[in-house]
Amino acid sequence: RMPQLDLSWLGLSLEASSPWPLVLLIGASWLLARVLTQTYTFYGTYQHLCGFPQPPKRNWFLGHLGMITPTEQGLKEVTKLVATYPQGFRTWMGPILPIITLCHPDIIRSVLNASVAVALKEVIFYTFLKPWLGDGLLLSAGDKWSRHRRMLTPAFHFNILKPYMKIFNDSTNIMHAKWQRLASGGSARLDMFENISLMTLDSLQKCVFSFDSNCQEKPSEYISAILELSALVSKRYQQLLLHIDSLYQLTPNGMRFHKACRLVHDFTDAIIQDRRRTLPSKDIDDVLKAKAKSKTLDFIDVLLLTKDEDGKELSDEDIRAEADTFMFEGHDTTASGLSWILYNLARHPEYQERCRQEVQELLRGRESPEIEWDDLAQLPFLTMCIKESLRLHPPVTVISRCCTQDISLPDGRAIPKGVVCIINIFATHHNPTVWPDPEVYDPFRFDPENIKDRSPLAFIPFSAGPRNCIGQTFAMNEMKVALALTLLRFRVLPDHKEPRRKPELILRAEGGLWLRVEPLSTGAQ
C-alpha cells in the first residue's frame, strides 16, 4: 500500500470524503499568489510615482476623489494645483488607483508625441458614448484607428473644406435672422450655447449628409436626439451607480438613450443606403471631379469613396460610426468655443470693436457680407482673439492616455506602464510658468512676435501628436465665419450674472451662457 501524505495538521486527509477542503486550499494559495504579485507590482509602480508630488489632503479610502469636481470650484482647485505643481502631480482614485496629471509642455511632449501603440487613448471618460458612436475615430484604437485615420484625412483637405464656406455663412445668417427678430425691441438676452449648438448642428448636417432639416427654425427629430444623447451622457457621468450598464439600461434615462441612439442610427443608415444606390459605378476620380465642380461633395461621399492601401472600402457600420462621431464632436466643441469667445469679447469691448473694424475693412465695398475662403487669412486680430479664448476656455479640458510601457520624461522621472495619465489642457493653458497672468484675457499673446519662442505644446485646444483633432481646420474656419458675421451685425454685451464654468464632456456654463446682443445699424455694418 502506498504511503499517504499526512495532512492532518491542516485537518485534511486524502481519504476525506469531500474534495472541497483541498479545492479551498488551492484557491486560497492562488489568491495569495495573486495578492503578492499585485502588491509587488503596486510597490514597483509606487516607487516610480514617488517622483510626482501629490496634494496633501487625501482620504485613506477615497483618495483625492471629490477634490477636483466638474464645477467652477473644481476648476479653481485645478488652477491652485498647477500654480503649486507646475510640472504635474499625482492624485488617487480610491486607495490604490493612481492618476498622473501633466500640465507643462516640456513634460506632456513625451506622452502626446509617443506612438499610438505606446500611449493608448484611455477611454474610461468616453465609455458611455460607445453605443452611440461605435468604433469611430474618437473611441477606436490600434490598427483600426490607424487605418481609419489614414482613410479620413482626405475628407479634411482644403479642396473639400472650401465649398463648406457657403454652408457656414448660410447657417450663421439663419441664426442672425432669428436674433434680429428677438432683438426687435433693441436687444435680446440669449443663451449662446443653445443658439450656437443649433447653428453648428445645422451646418454639420449639411456638410456631412447634404441634408437641410431647417433645425434652427423648427424642431428636428434627429437634431433633438443628438442634443438629448449629449445631455444624457453628461448626466450619467455624474451618477456613479449608473456607470453600471445593466443598471442604466433599466432607468428611464437609459431607455431614452437607447431610443435616441436608434433614431440617430436609423437616420445615418438610411442616408448611407440611399447614397450607395445613387453612386455611379464609374471611376472614383471622375466622381470626385464631378462632385467638386458642382460643390456637392459631403462627408458621406468621401467615406463611401475612400479606399485603403489594399483597395478595401469602409463598411457601412464604419461609415455610420465616423459620421455619428463627426456630428457629435463637431457640434459641441465648436459651440463651446464660439460661446466662450463671445463671452470674452463681451467683457472686453475694446477688443470686440477692433475685431469689428477688421471685418468691416475686409468687407468694405462688397455687395453682400459673406466670408470667403481667401478672407480667412485676412483676419489676424480676430484669429488672435479666438485663440486666446480657446486658451482661457478650452472646449475640451482634459484628455487621457494609458501607457503600454514606461515613458521616460525629460527631467529623469518615468510614467509607469499601466498608469492612467491625464493631459490637463485647462491646467496647461493656466500654468503661470508658461503663461504669465494666466487668468487675464490678452489676445496679444498670439501676436506672431510673441509666439516665436513658445513651445507649440503650450497651446493645445485640439490636442497634439498622432491623435490630434482631425477636424481642427474645419472648426477654426466655422468659428471665424460665425464670429466675423456676428460682430459685423451685433454688439455683444455681458449678462448681469457672471457664468459659472462647468467642465463636462466639453466646457459649459451652469444654466447656459447668457449674453445680450444689440443689432447694429446698417451704417455701422
For 39-79, write each residue's pLDDT tens digit. 656 555 666 687 889 888 777 778 887 788 889 999 999 99
What the block records as the C-alpha cell of 280 is 455611379
188 inside domain: yes
pLDDT of residue 523: 44
Cα(191)–Cα(184) distance, integer angstroms: 17
- Does residue 312 register a pLDDT over 80? yes
244 inside domain: yes
58 inside domain: no
Say yes or no: 310 and 358 in one domain: yes
Say yes or no: 28 and 127 in one domain: no
65 inside domain: no
Considering only CA atoms, which of 322, 408, 460 is closest in space to residue 118?
Answer: 408
Say yes or no: 22 and 113 in one domain: no
63 inside domain: no
Say yes or no: 400 and 309 in one domain: yes
Give SS3 for 519: strand
Say yes or no: 179 and 135 in one domain: yes
103 among the known binding-site residues? no
Say yes or no: 25 and 124 in one domain: no
pLDDT of residue 121: 66
Considering only CA atoms, which of 457, 453, 458 is closest in space to residue 433?
Answer: 458
Where residue 125 sits, what CATH number does that domain have?
Answer: 1.10.630.10
Cβ contacts of residue 132 below 8 Å, gap of 6+?
229, 233, 257, 261, 264, 324, 328
Q: Which helix (H) or strand (E) holds 88?
A: strand 88-93
Only one residue has cell 468659428, namely 479
Say yes or no: 21 and 115 in one domain: no
Say yes or no: 32 and 156 in one domain: no
3 inside domain: no
* Size (the chain), residues: 525
320 or 61, higher pLDDT: 320
Say yes or no: 93 and 30 in one domain: no
H helices present in 4-92, as ranges: 20-49, 72-84
Number of domains in the chain: 2
Overall average pLDDT of the 381-402 stretch: 96
85 or 234, higher pLDDT: 85
Mean pLDDT of the chain: 88
59 inside domain: no
Considering only CA atoms, which of 129, 82, 17 is closest in space to residue 422?
Answer: 82
Considering only CA atoms, which of 349, 332, 361 is closest in space to residue 385?
Answer: 349
Q: What is the domain extent for residue 44?
A: 8-49
CA-derived radius of gyration, the chain? 27
- Does residue 104 register a pLDDT over 50? yes
pLDDT of residue 75: 96
32 or 463, higher pLDDT: 463
Query: What are the backbone angles phi and psi of residue 169, rounded to the nearest 5°?
Result: -60, -45
481 or 236, higher pLDDT: 481
123 or 405, higher pLDDT: 405
Q: Let me know: does 338 contact 479? Beta carbons within 8 Å.
A: yes
Overall average pLDDT of the 168-179 stretch: 97
